[in-house]
Each structure stands twice: as structure tokens, then as C-alpha cells.
Amino acid sequence: MTTSTVGTAWTPARAYALEAKYELFKLLRMPAYAVPAVAFPVMFYSLFGLMFGGRAPGGVSMPTYLLATYGAFGVIGAALFGFGVGLAVERGQGWLVLKRATPMPPLALFTAKLFNAVVFACVIVLSLSVLGVMFGNVSLSAGAWVQLAGTLIAGAIPFCAIGLALGYFAGPNSAPALVNLIYLPMAFLSGLWIPIEMLPPAIKNAAPFLPAYHFAQLALGAVGAGLGAPAWTHVTALAGFTIVGVALALSGYRRDEDRLFG
């Protein structure tokens, strides 16, 4: 059998690149993911962020405040669904077992899914920003724009880790429901839909136990509307959630290794 002659030594870089490319193709060809991932934050921001004017807590305009929180909402959704549901389905179908038996670079699939969460995060942040500027009179300094966009996009990482853990513990059929049951209440209780200052004190006090709260506070900090805790406390909290997510996923991976079927 003749083989394709490769002039240079084989490196895993191509496998990483192709894995990311075809993961993206898979998501784009799956309307059940791609459409809601972008359309929901755009729709919610248009309905709640742009139709109500006025001032938000912290002194910024409501469209500016909600650009940060609905941006966070969209990024979290793209990460949780892309990782959690995508992984749970492919795991349930035995596809991940086959992938593990191949010489695929072990991290290629995860970096590919992370890459895609970031791509979707960029699309969501860009869409909401354009809407905010055109219809909500959002006006930020260049530095604030960079900080907001950077924070929102980097915020995909901890939620990918949480999605990873969900992907290893949810069944392929229950995964979408489970992710929604975590995602939507968490978004509300963290002040992503309605500013946290307007929520009852009980919710406000419990919010720091939720990763989405810390993410939103970092994004709000970029537009000058955070509650005022130092940024490093939020970053530390998110790093903690990331570590817990990865650790849970690892134990799920080990458990899969010893299942009767799978």
C-alpha cells in the first residue's frame, strides 16, 4: 500500500487544527445548537436591554449594563451547551470510545470544543455590541470595549470546564434538560437578566456561590457598573469553579473507563 509521503516529520498540530475545524462544521450544521446559541442572547438583549431605557444601578445606562450581563449569558450558554450536551451525546453514542482508541492527541477534542466556544463567544459579543451601539446608544472608551470583549470571551473557559463535567455525568438524552435546569436559574439568580441590585436580598446574598455571578461582575466592572469587589476575588472564584469542573470531568472519564458497556 503506498502511503502519502510527508516531507517533514509528523506533528500533532494538523490534528488539532482539523479537529477544531470539523467541530465547528458540526456545530454550524446543527441548527439546534447554532441558532439558539446566538439568537437567544440577541433576542433577550433586544427585548429587555434595548426597549427599556433609563439608568441602571452603578450609574450607567440600562443598555450598557445589560450588554455586559446578556453578553455573559450568551457566552455561558454557548460553552455549557457546546461542551456539556455535545460531549454527553457523543459519549452516549460510543463515539468517544472509538476516538480514545485512535492515536488522536488526547487533548485535541477538548481544545477543539474550547476553540468553538470562543468562536461563538466572539460572534455573540460582536452581535450584542453592534445592537447596543446602533440602537441603545452604548458608548464606551476604546479601553473599556477591549476589557469588556476580552472578559466576556475569556469567561467561556470556566463554563467550558463546568460543561465538561456535565458532559461526563449527564446521559445523552437528559443532557439538554439538565443543562437548561442549571443554566437558566443560574442566569437569573446571578443577575444576568435583571440587575442583581434589583433582586431580593436573599438572592443577592446567595449569588456569590454561583460562577455566573462572578463572571457578570467582571464584565460589569469593564463598563464601570460592578458591585465593587476587587476583580481578583471574582477571578479566583472562577478559577476555583474551573478546577472543580475539570476534576469532576476527570473522575467521570475514569469511571467511563471501567463501565461494562461504553
Identify residues 57-86 at the interface with other proteins (CB under 8 A). Answer: none
Question: Which region, judged by CB under 8 A, interacts with other proteins, from 201-209, 227-235, 240-248, 251-259?
Answer: 251-259
Identify residues 30-49 at the interface with other proteins (CB under 8 A). Answer: 30
Return the residue of 35, 39, 98, 134 that touches other proteins, per CB under 8 A. 98
Return the residue of 36, 105, 208, 224 that touches other proteins, per CB under 8 A. 105
Return the residue of 36, 48, 58, 104 that touches other proteins, per CB under 8 A. 104
Nearer to other proteins, 10 or 232 (CB): 10
Q: How far, in Å, CA of 192 to CA of 212, rounded?
A: 8
Does 255 bind other proteins (CB under 8 A)? Our answer is no
- How many residues in the shown chain lie near other proteins by CB under 8 A? 34
Does 8 bind other proteins (CB under 8 A)? Our answer is no
Instruction: Judge whether 44 and 67 are in contact, CB under 8 Å.
Output: no
Identify residues 137-166 at the interface with other proteins (CB under 8 A). Answer: none
Does 7 bind other proteins (CB under 8 A)? Our answer is no
Question: Which region, judged by CB under 8 A, interacts with other proteins, from 24-32, 58-66, 138-146, 208-216?
Answer: 24-32
Nearer to other proteins, 17 or 203 (CB): 17
Return the residue of 14, 59, 137, 209 that touches other proteins, per CB under 8 A. 14
HEC-encoded secondary structure of the chain = CCCCCCCCCCCCHHHHHHHHHHHHHHHHCCHHHHHHHHHHHHHHHHHHHHCCCCECCCCCEHHHHHHHHHHHHHHHHHHHHHHHHHHHHHHHCCHHHHHHHCCCCCCHHHHHHHHHHHHHHHHHHHHHHHHHHHHHCCCCCHHHHHHHHHHHHHCHHHHHHHHHHHHHHCCCCCHHHHHHHHHHHHHHHCCCCCCHHHCCHHHHHHHHHCHHHHHHHHHHHHCCCCCCCCHHHHHHHHHHHHHHHHHHHHHHHHHHHCCCCC
The residues with which 186 forms a beta bridge, in sequence order, are none
Instruction: Judge whether 132 and 144 are in contact, CB under 8 Å.
Output: no
Binding mask 185-224 for other proteins (x = CB under 8 A): ----------------------------------------
Taken as a whole, the chain contains a residue count of: 262
Question: Which region, judged by CB under 8 A, interacts with other proteins, from 95-103, 141-149, 158-166, 191-199?
Answer: 95-103
Please report, as ranges, the residues that interact with other proteins according to CB under 8 A: 1-4, 6, 9-10, 14-15, 18-19, 22, 25-26, 29-30, 90, 93-95, 97-98, 100-105, 257-262
